[in-house]
Structure 1
Amino acid sequence: MSSTRSSKRSPSSESFTCRVCRKTIASESSYKRHERYCRKRLVSPAPPRRKSCLACIRAKCRCDSGIPACGPCDRKGRSCVYSLDTLGSREGGPIVAARSSTRLPVSGYLTASSSSTNTREHSQSASLIGGASLNSDLPSLRTLSKVSRTSTSESIVGDTWGDDLATDQSRGQPSLGLHPPPSSQLLRPRIQKLARAELVSNLITQMLCSYPEKRLDEVSYPPFFHHSTIQRSAKSTPLNNPIAICQELAQNYASDASRTDPAFWNSIAAEQERIYTNRSSFDKWTNMDSAQALTIYLLMAASSGEPVLNQYPSIPITLLYTLGSLFGELNVTHPGFSASATNRRPSWRDWIFAESKLRTAAMYFIFAMCFDVQFGIPCDRPEDYAFGDVDLPAAKVQWEAEDEMAWEREMDLVEAGREKDGDDGGEKEEMRLKYGDLVRYNKQVCGKGGRDDLEEGLARRIEKWQREVDEFGILVSLCGTMA
């Protein structure tokens, strides 16, 4: 009898992996209980604990945990400093300072610490990254993609500011990791220099803000989503599918009451952290789905306006930073933003992936033209990608082809028309037009010579593209008038 009881208590060799947090659990009953807990927390995360600033802790007075400075510090004119060990109950975390005189956000300054190794810290660290002011008007996706694959705050800061840290060390000076704060206007509408550009920007903004209000089903979805993405999401496990989770959050976003509900934004923060944690283990399709879902969350935050942006100042930075890290993963195996990198015709699935990637990249650049995305990462290096490097979106009939056979027919027609559309004596064209070509064409049209100064081949190709575009192509065309 004793041997029987002993055998029942012996652990099973089989282990179970939580489909939400990827934690390995030995017992099946514990696994089921743990996964139910994770699923509940994914939809409605636990509210963060309110912590006191260091000055109030020393003074032994009640702190209201205000951001950027608490009430007692603001009234007494003293420096209000939060540290990660008080804000997040983490040991050895960096110190984040916010002075009431300048009213900086909590993400203003960062001192890197090498002792922090908490697995969950990377997402919070992304929201605390300060940096030099951006010199360029339009940040680059390649720069945003230069993020760490590890989970420590030191690695994230080191990768982002590697050049600055190396310079300090070469001079024999200690590197403090201190940089000017990100823009306090993050995700606020940009003020355009010209009245015409302001009108176009307002129109584009209204179009962008309509995307989160779509149901994200087979009937209503944004034009940078391919219909196969929605179909693939319906067939997959909703627990860890970024599009399925985004669909559920989009349905909640449709209610005006949910837009200021802390539980809703905590759910977005939890999903962002899950994506950031697991991004290196995703395949290319899951990375792409995650990038598109994060783009929707950025649009949600921007369109919700001041109430949300003031209450959750870290959400825009973490979303932008994670989006950059996803493009970093994608660019390792699929560099660039072109759907015609080779002369041979790709498979339908490869074409969908390349086209989805360039459309999602274009969405970021369009968003950056209308909203402030300057959060402290320099984006003016010569090797960085720019909007001009991105291919113009494909024709409506190609993008909306119902199946592979329909797409093949449309590709045959495109290749048959290349002979007569060539720029030089009917020579066959292989390269697709890029956004930079559209801007160049618009500048020629608006130049002193008007249409007389147009490059004949470029004008013919641009006008042909304009006749065949879908809704997303119209959006890109509007942006081309602002450049």
Structure 2
Amino acid sequence: MTFHVRLPMSSPVAQQNATYILQMIRPFPNMMTRKDTLPPFIHHSLGSTDSGLAFPEPLANCMSIARMFVWRTSETREFVWETIWSEQRKLADKAASYTPEDLLASLQACNIYVIMRMVDYSPEHAEKDLETMLWCYRISDRLINSLDGEFGVSEHDRPNQMWKDWIFVESQRRYLSVWFLLTRLISMRTGIGCPYVDAYLSLPLPAPRSLWEAASAEAWKAEYDCTYTTPELPRLRTFGELVEAQKPTNYTQFMHKLDLWNADADSLGMMLTLATAIMK
């Protein structure tokens, strides 16, 4: 049983886009080594006094592991992977007692560990890879159940007026987007279907870069009001709308929304735009 196998793409354009997305995702473990360069689904304000949000233990441990992973050698490689698997088992054992915030941090760390395996694949560890996927699904289910249907709700449908609350909800949406990209680009042959893939059209799109990268609550509030309380600036809301907007026959209808999306999108948004070719 293999863990990561490139999915067959429907066209050369889709295949090329898949390659671009993989190239953008592969550096995430490197980005995880410093708080100043966190991947685009983990918020920069974690651990700062500005937001009042702690840097969760699962992410702190993931950062330490990422440093070991990036600087691994042939002599330390096995030790690094034993450390990763041990951390995953610990997170799985503690999942039942975690708060929603810690559960989300566990899932964010899971994404990094899966990408690490994609970067440093080893066929002799198939059983451990299956354990990784079972852990990811178990933690995902725990988080979704704890949120009582709040997981992945679009900001347009249920706005958040506090920066701290918004960061948590937007981080959920961004985690889900990255997990969706991984499951679309990589065939994880574990015999387990991914429930998110079937519902990809309803995935809420991540917020604009100016909101996600706001340096303070005041800067965020100004950008938030501009983004969500300006009716003359209609925006794309879901990945399904982005797919429809990219179709040549719909370009005129969605042109203004696409312009807004492309003007505001960060690297995660660009990956989702590339992914529309894969879904056609």
TM above 0.5, yes or no, is yes
**Higher relative contact order, structure no. (Cα contacts within 8 Å, ≥ 6 residues apart):** 2
**Are the equivalent residues in 1 in contact too, given 2:47–2:54 (CA < 8 A)?**
no
Count of residue pairs the alignment pairs up: 274
Partner Cα distance (2:60, 2:73) in 1: 22
Counterpart of 2:189 in 1: which secondary structure? coil
Task: Show the counterpart of 1:34.
Answer: none
Q: Which has the higher helix share?
A: 2
Task: Show the counterpart of 2:25.
Answer: 208
**Are the equivalent residues in 2 in contact too, given 1:398–1:411 (CA < 8 A)?**
yes
Partner Cα distance (1:249, 1:339) in 2: 33
Deviations 1:194-228, CA, capped at 9 Å, x for gaps: 22211111111111111112243222221111112
Counterpart of 2:246 in 1: which secondary structure? helix
Runs of at least 4 residues of structure 1 off by over 4 A?
A: 341-344
Task: Show the counterpart of 1:136.
Answer: none
How much is the aligned-residue C-alpha RMSD, in angstroms? 2.5
Structure 1 unmatched ranges of 5 or more: 1-183, 423-428
Task: Show the counterpart of 1:478.
Answer: 274
AA in 1 matched with 2:140 = F
Q: 1:414 aligned to 2:227?
A: yes
**Are the equivalent residues in 2 in contact too, given 1:249–1:264 (CA < 8 A)?**
yes
Q: 1:360 aligned to 2:201?
A: no
Q: CA deviation at 1:255?
A: 1.8
Partner Cα distance (2:19, 2:118) in 1: 13
Q: Identify which of 256, 261, 265 aligns with 2:81.
A: 265
- Greater Rg by CA: 1
Describe the shift of the 1:198–1:260 C-alpha distance in structure 2 as closer, same or farther (beyond 3 A): farther
Partner Cα distance (2:241, 2:45) in 1: 29
Describe the shift of the 1:216–1:261 C-alpha distance in structure 2 as closer, same or farther (beyond 3 A): closer
Deviations 1:41-97, CA, capped at 9 Å, x for gaps: xxxxxxxxxxxxxxxxxxxxxxxxxxxxxxxxxxxxxxxxxxxxxxxxxxxxxxxxx
Deviations 1:140-191, CA, capped at 9 Å, x for gaps: xxxxxxxxxxxxxxxxxxxxxxxxxxxxxxxxxxxxxxxxxxxx33213223
Task: Show the counterpart of 1:17.
Answer: none
Q: CA deviation at 1:263?
A: 1.4
Task: Show the counterpart of 1:193.
Answer: 10
Q: Identify which of 132, 136, 147 aligns with 1:323.
A: 136
Deviations 1:255-309, CA, capped at 9 Å, x for gaps: 241697221111111111111111010011111111011110000001113xx2x
Task: Show the counterpart of 1:387.
Answer: 200
Partner Cα distance (2:176, 2:228) in 1: 26
Q: CA deviation at 1:442?
A: 1.6
AA in 2 matched with 1:399 = W
AA in 2 matched with 1:439 = V
**Are the equivalent residues in 2 in contact too, given 1:338–1:355 (CA < 8 A)?**
no
Describe the shift of the 1:401–1:364 C-alpha distance in structure 2 as closer, same or farther (beyond 3 A): same
1:128-207 alignment runs, 5 A limit? 184-207=1-24
Partner Cα distance (2:198, 2:75) in 1: 33
TM-score normalised by length of structure 2: 0.88
AA in 2 matched with 1:476 = L
Partner Cα distance (1:185, 1:259) in 2: 24
Q: 1:221 aligned to 2:38?
A: yes
Partner Cα distance (1:463, 1:332) in 2: 36
**Are the equivalent residues in 1 in contact too, given 2:208–2:265 (CA < 8 A)?**
yes
Partner Cα distance (1:205, 1:388) in 2: 21
Partner Cα distance (1:248, 1:256) in 2: 12
Partner Cα distance (2:70, 2:194) in 1: 34
Q: Identify which of 51, 57, 66 aligns with 1:241.
A: 57
Task: Show the counterpart of 1:369.
Answer: 184
Q: CA deviation at 1:231?
A: 4.3
Describe the shift of the 1:368–1:384 C-alpha distance in structure 2 as closer, same or farther (beyond 3 A): closer
Q: CA deviation at 1:436?
A: 0.7
Structure 2 unmatched ranges of 5 or more: none
